[in-house]
Structure formats: C-alpha cells, structure tokens
Structure 1
Amino acid sequence: MAELTQDLNNLQKAEPELAAGGPPSSSAKTSGSGKTRSAREKNNPGDKGNIHLLKHITKLAEHIAEEGLNEHSLETLKDHLEPVIQEFAVTPIQAALFSLCLVRYDDHSITMSDLATGINCGKLEFFQYQDDLKALESKKLIRYHRTEGSPYISVPKDLMEALIRGEPFKPAEHRDIPLTELLVIAETLFDQRSNEEFTFNFLAVELKSLIDQNPHLRFSQKIKEYALSDENLTLLIYFCYNFAYYNNDNIWLEPVMELYDEKASSKKMLRSLLDGSHKLIKKRLIGKETTDEDASPASPDSATFCLTDKAKRELLGELKLKQKRDRRDGRKENDLIRYKTIQSRKMFYNGPETEQVNKLSSILQGDSYRAVCKRLADKKMRTGFVCLFSGGPGTGKTETAFQIARETKRDIMKVDIPHIIGAYVGESEKNIKDQFDHYRSVVKNTKTAPILLFNEADGLISKRMELTPHNPSVERMWNSMQNIILEEMEDLKGILIATTNMTINLDKAFERRFLFKIEFHKPDRPNRLSIWHSMIPELSEPDMEILADLFEFSGGQIENVARKWVMEQALSGSNPQMEKIISFCKEEQLEKEKPGNIGFMV
C-alpha cells in the first residue's frame, strides 16, 4: 500500500500546469456513466483525465482545510466538486469528505481528529457528518473502522489502484456463483470483520449485496422469504458457513458478540438469544445447543447455539451435506474443532508452568513453527511436536491445549479414546491407525497443521502389559495399539498433545518420545485468589482470602463451586452468603462422615 500512496503523490505532481488550479475545460466534463470523455473516450485512455480528477480532489482538500466545510466553500469549489460527484455518484459534502480522506490517507489510517482538523471544525461538530461517512462506506469508497478506541478510516486498496491506472472504480461483484463459493466469500468477509478491517454495518451491507447478486440460489431465495433485518441476516449466514464447511453445530456466542461495533448491540442480541425472543429462534432457524438441560453455564456468553434441522434443510439442502455421525474409530465426519469457536479463557499457572506454556505457544505460532520445522529438517531431525500435559484433575491440562490452539490459530482434532476400542479382534488397532492416517491427510491438505489431541490418554501411554493366561487377547490388543502409537509418534509431521492424570505409570518408550513435558499443579495461594476473583467477582476480598486459605482447590474445583453459586443465585434471586459457599466447598472436597458399622450394635 505504501507504493500506491507514493504513486498517487507522484501522479498528483505529474503535470504542474494542471496542478496550478482552475476549473476543467469543457472537453474534460464527465458523463453520467462516470467516465471522463476527454480521458476515456479517446485512444489514449487514462493518465490526463485521471490527473484532472486527482487535481480536483487535491484542490478540494486544500481549500476545505483553509475555509472549512460550509455552504460558501461548497459554492466556491463547485467546479472542483462536480467531477468527483459525477465520478462516484455522491453528494457535494460526501465528495468533499472523500477528497479529504484520500489526500490525508497515510497508508495506515485517518483518525476522526485528522478529518475534523481537515475541515477546520471541532470533534463534536464533526459528528454531524457520520451519515455521510457511512454513505461513502456503503459505496465502498472508504472503510470505517469502529474499535474500542477511537474510530478511524482507511481507503480500499483497489480504489487507490483504479485511480492510479486511470480506470473507473468498480467495486467487485460476485454474480451467478454457486453456493459453495458464496459461503467462502462470506467467510472471508467475517475474517476481515474480525480483523477490524471494516464495521459490522459494512459487513451486513456486503452480505446482503452478496445475496441480492445471486437470486438463482435457493439459499438466497429462502433468506429473502424470511424477511430478516440486515443484522439477523448476517448472524444467519455466520451460522450457515460454520456448519457447511466445518460441520460446526456448537457456536459459542463470544466470537459472535465480537462482530458487533457496539457492546450495547451485542448484549441486546445475547439477551434475546438466551431468553428465546430473537427472531431467528422464533422462525426456528437457530436453537440452543445443549447436552444437559439442567446445566447452567458459568457465564451467559458460554452458551452455544446451532442451526435447526429446518434451516439446514431449507438453506443448505442443495449442498447435500453429510450429517455428523459417530464412527467406530472415535471420529466424526469433518471432526475438526475450529479455533475460532474456542472460547477465550484466562488461565492461571504457577511460575514454572507459565514459562513452559508460553514457550510452547510461542513456538507453535505460524512463522515460528515453520522456521523451527525447517531448521529441524535441515539438521535431519524429526519435525513433529509431541507434547505431554500431566497433572491432577482440574489443573487445566485440556483447557490449556484449547487455549494454545486458539492463540496459534490451529484447529483441534480431538480423539475420543473410548470409541476407538472395538469389539472385535484387530478392530482397535485398525481404528487407531485410521485416526493417524486421517490426521496426516488433514495436515497435507491444510495450510496450518491442526493439533491432534489425545485427552485422558492414561491407558494408551501406560506401561505395557505382560501377557497372562487370564485375558491374553485384551493385553495383546493394548500392547499392539501402543506399538502403533509409538511408531506414529516417531514419524509424526504435525502437533500431538496427550493429557494424563498420572505419569507414575508412564511407559519409558513414550516418555522418550514426548518432546515437551509440562506438569500442571494445583494453583498456589496467589493464583487461587485470582481464580476466585475471576469466577465470583462479587465476593469481598476478605472472603476470597478465607476461601483461598481453607481450600487448596484446583481451578476445576473452584469452577464447580462457582457454577453452584450461579445456580443458587438464579434460584434465590440474591447472592449466596459465605456460609453457603463454604458448604459448596465442603461438598466439593467430598468430606463426608465415614459410614459406621453395618448391622446392630449392642
């Protein structure tokens, strides 16, 4: 983009006699079609007509900075405004603002303060032009970024290129495309919104335009029948592409909320989804995804939603998608857990664990990972990353794997170990081999290698069994499976993480093959305090101190207590007292009175 900005500056200075100012000649007037006759209807298209337009844009910005944006200045600058108005079909004020954006664009952004200064007015006064900026955005002449900080504006690269080439600017269109391509384009737009390249409003306009440009699709026809607002249309397409391409039937609300520009709007959407009043729920297009009707999430945005069967049938039926189905090898069709769907969670580690986790996460970042793999390959060393996360229940092993995946933008292929075990001789070995073959295929066909996660892998990586007369076939099966896993770990090209509650029984052959070994302990007192504060911020500091001292809980145990606290709060309508929380903690400790002797005592 820096080269484009420099080219634009050079082009503005190309002909001094034109840059000196003055109205355009009659031969340079524009037609309603947006093409300059003197520049584009002759055999020499481009440069001179383009310089005329850029000259007008430059002069507009200069004069407005001196005189401000008012009726007098607009009348004075009428000759410079007219070519811009006709070229881009905008109003005089929009032409002036666009010219200012283009001239002041510094290859990164233009702040609202820059624009206010550029039209010689204060920040508050500048807010009267918000609708004009949104109109420019809808015409794709600017991109309006609204972040948690100050909003800013950028100029699209394709617009800059068109001006430099002396061509009319035509925003990209995607007409008469198949549904598969439409959903790919939609995903790109959602990614750009996640990177704050434009506003939620712009995203909604683009998606609506995409639907309007493809009326031949049943997908577009049904969406029009639903008569949805732009916001609801955007949310529905988000659910559709996630299911169509990633078979993701478990959408977290956190990434959905992050699409919005304003927290108030995202919270309103969240409330209506949770209480069932959202229009997409009323039209039976999305529904709440639950595996336990009695479960109450620790936070509302941890709830998950999915497309209904009706929506899948009406909107995505033409794709003939395969439904998720369990397989004997523990996999599901399209079984990757998308990193974008993993909910962000703050993790609390003791000192050594923090350093190890951060180091592993840093190595698995895209560029670092590729550089390390190349260096290992150059040294004729194995390039696979095989990691062991060990520690007691609730210490954060599995959640750490998920957070590393989220931070490094890697999907997860989670192995359901109980489903791998087959009922017939040789079936289990075949299933484990198929799992690694499947992972190899995914790594080969994706840009970013996913993480192969063996959760609670105690049985698979424990010491091999000695054959006994009692049940030799079972023992032989486990040993055979372990031999396959050892071979696969040796030849792995990718990333494997195994979690275990016990390392005391770890087979030495497995221990040697784990490159990274991170042992997770129960949190120390400062971390217990932090976790209590994170889970139940309503508690007073003294109460948190008491709980941290009395109960040496893991993070998982504290979360269980917090979930009971939320449930009690929902039932009673008030915050549970400290005595109640302590009773929850004692229940979590499972410190029950030991049973007495059975029978009668004399």
Structure 2
Amino acid sequence: MEEMMIKKNEATLLSSIDRVVELAIDSKLSNYFYEEADEALQYLSQRLDITPTQALVFSLFIEKCTDRRITMSDFANMIGCRTTRLIELMSEADALHKMGLIGRYKRNKECYYNVPMEVIEAVKENRKFTPKSLSELSSNEFYDCLDEIFEADHDDTYTLSDRLRELVTANPQLPIAQVVKRYNIGWFRGDWSGIMLCVYLNRFVNHDDDMVGTHDWEDYFSSKHIVRSINEDLKDTSFTLCKEGLVEPYKNDGMADTNYFHLTDKAKQELCPELIPKVKEKGKDKRLISHTSFAPKSLYYSDNVQQQIEQLTSLLQPDMFCKVTDRLAQNGMRRGFACLFYGSPGTGKTETVNQIARQTGRDVMMVDVSKIKSCWVGESEKNIKEAFDHYRRLVENSEQAPILLFNEADAILGKRNEAAERSVDKMENAIQNIILQEMEQLEGIMIATTNLTSNLDSAFERRFIYKIEFERPTLSARKAIWQSMISELNDEDAASLASQFDLSGGQIENIARKRTVEFILSGTAPDLHQLTAYCQAEQQLSKGPTHRRIGF
C-alpha cells in the first residue's frame, strides 16, 4: 500500500525534504510556509514515524548533511530569522538525536550536530532508517559502539549514562555486563561508577591508554560538582571501583599518584580477557617502532662526532646502561638519559637514532610534535603529558627501555616567553614546563633532534646530558657518501661532485633517489652532467640555517 501511494504521488523522502527546504529558505517560518509545506511535512512524518515539526528540523539537517559541525544558528541564517526563533526547535533536535537520526556532540560547552552516514544512505535509498540493534554484540562490536557513544555525547551526562547503561544491559553475555552485575555498579545520580568504568575500558581498548587524570573527567561530565565528587570518591577506599580492586592510582617512581587512576590488571582480565595476551605480547604497542625494522645503513661523521656516537651507543647497550643508571641512582642523580642531536638538516640525526636503536636492541616511541599541539585550550598540555605517561608505562613493561624520540623538536625546545600574554604563547610555555618536569623524572632514554639551537632555552641545555652537533660532512665524507649512494660512481666523479657541492648526506640521498627514478622511467642512468644539474637544483633550495655550538 505504501509503495502504491509513493508511486501515485511521485513523492520520495528526498523530494519531500527538498520541497521543505526550498520553501523554508528565507521564509522566517511564516504561516505561508507551513501551509505550502504541509503536504511534504505530513508525508515525511508518516514515512519516518516522526512529528511534522521534527520532519521540518530533519529536513534542515539533511540539507546541511555534508557539514560535520552543524549548529542551530546555521538554520537561523538559512531561514532568515533570529536564533531565538529556533530555540523551540532544539527540543525536536534532541528527540531526533535519541532516535539516531542525527548525531550530537559538545565541545567547550558548544553543541554541534551532524547526520550519520547510514541515515543519509537510508534517505538516498528512500527507506526509513532503522538503528542497528545493540543486543547480542560481539566484543569488538561492543567496543566500536562504546567509542561511538563517547564521541557523540561527551558533555551530556544524563544521556551518556542512559546510552551506556542501555548498551551494557543489552549484552548480558559480555564480560562488562557481568562485572557490573557482580559488583553492583551503579548508573544513576550520585553513583557514576558505571560511566567511569566504561571510560576506563574505552580508553584502554580503543585508545591504548586507560589512565584518567583529575581534569579528564570534565570531558565526560558537564557539572563541575560531579567532577569534584568523582575525584573525591576515587580517593575514598570504600568507593566501589576502588574497593573491588578495579581501579588504582598510577604509580610514579613507586609512589601512588592520586591525580591519575587506571584499570588494575584484575579489571583488565575480567573486562576484556580476550585482549590480555595481545596486551602483554612484546612489541605490539601501536606507538612503538621495532628496532628490527631499521635496516643497517652506513653513516659518515667527522672523527669527533663518530667518537661521541660510538660512546653513546656503548652506553646504551643493555648491560652498560643498567650499570650506569644504577651508579647514578646511588649517587643521588637522575637515572634518565636525555640526549640532544642538533645540526643542519640532512646531516643524519634521525637516522643515527634509528641505527643506535638497531644496535642496542631498543624500540623507538616517536612523538609527532605537530600532532601534540591542538587548537583546543588545554589539549596540547594534556597530549604532551599523556605521551610521557605512555612512555613511562612502556619502560615499566619492557625488558629494554625503548627510546623516546622527539624528532624535529625545534618548536618545543625554544626559549620560553616570560611575558606571555597571548594564549598560544602561554600554551607553548606550559608545554615546555611539562617537558622540563618530565625530564627531571625521566626513567629511560629520551633523544630530541633539532635543526636550529640558537633559540634553545637554557633550562633544556642543562637537562640534556649528551649534546652532539652533527656537522655538515667534510670533503672526504661527501665523497664516501656519494659512492655509498651511487656505487657506479668512480673515484674521480665522486671527488668532483664532493668538491663542487657542499651538500649534506640527506641532500645527496635525494639526488641518488632522483637518479634511480629517472633510470626507472627512461631506462638510462643520468650521467655526470645530469647529476651536476641535480646538485645545483638541490643546493639552490638549501638555505643553510645558522646555529651556535652548544657543546658535547
């Protein structure tokens, strides 16, 4: 019957939505609009099982469906009326959200909406959207749903609680439902332990980090009163999650830090037993680069730098490292090794770290500085703290301490702005203060690479125990690099290129790669004349940054 009606009226969900939007634009939602749009609104209401007013709001959202950050003010501009005129429609948007027809999330107290792709697909196919069932989920399906809920409802405490409780209770076969029942974990006002347990589990399973700090709860609870109450509960040994041994304070240097809590091994075993073998399996951490992935590579240094690299590599050998750090601790000194590799681009700083890791059997945790920084207030500081916290756990759980690598760290090692007024300057200072504090507490190996050191903060200089300047290669080193990169070069041609062009090892490698690509494309290897042209182009791009020596 429904199909016959659609065919007769030649109406579809998409055509009706288009009609509503067409009439709504600049209409100010006048009586005339409602009269003209009534047929389309009634059709949408019947097909989607929603009210005509909800059909109007849904149509507006579909019109903006390519935008992932829709606000109610967007509709005010579209319709041509004040935002206050749309406030009455916000409750309809909330209703659509509960039906799963639109998504909603809050960031920094601002509410944003979007339209899920599966809803868009349903409209395109002219069918009513039916939310996927939450029951009888596998563990992986449950983890996916859990993450989706947190992404959608960061700041809406009561909706968040309802959705999590619904998800857990719909899957009594899963370990988390059994844990909630076994320990009588609550979901209601005054007892937020259910949400808290889901937060810990989600961060552990989906984000490789189950540690939650005192301020992190603000991401999940809209009320500061609730956040304060939670932090007080966690320090109370009678609180359910603590009493049952499901969460515990994070230990820093053997001391409990009650500003950070995480799941206990017992909780991980009970909540996600299928993941425990994977968690404990060595080398499976997503942030670690295995030392076995680094291929042997010949690097050429000056005699002075060669000596320093060999000494550092020797110190970082497992047996020697343990002896040295133990002796440092006995003398009341910091156990951590912080090293700075500085010098012109392309001089082999990063590759040297890779080769040291390969030779000492240490994996590498590389920190991407560009990803650490965030436009959201407080996020950058949180990210850098989390990076060090994660590294600390890796050290505790690894046979050999991995290397914490801050590659191209110029942006975070510069001089602090003592008179910072702009928020970005304050953020830079806060990040640097956190790094300085973490370097004081470092239990492992940190290496930072940087191209320029003229602006290095003196506080960082003091904390790097080894500072190695990577000089541009000498004439003889350049000749050796040329012949290692292009084995076909004879001594005379290699010496000619080395003497004509003061290139770094990285620049010579670029030219060698370009030569290989040209050979693949044309079948003919570039001759000395073409290599000379490549060198001229490469040298022209180089600006040759200046730097001051800061010593070994």
TM-score normalised by the shorter chain: which range applies?
0.3 to 0.5
TM-score of the two chains, using structure 1 as the length reference: 0.43
TM-score of the two chains, using structure 2 as the length reference: 0.46
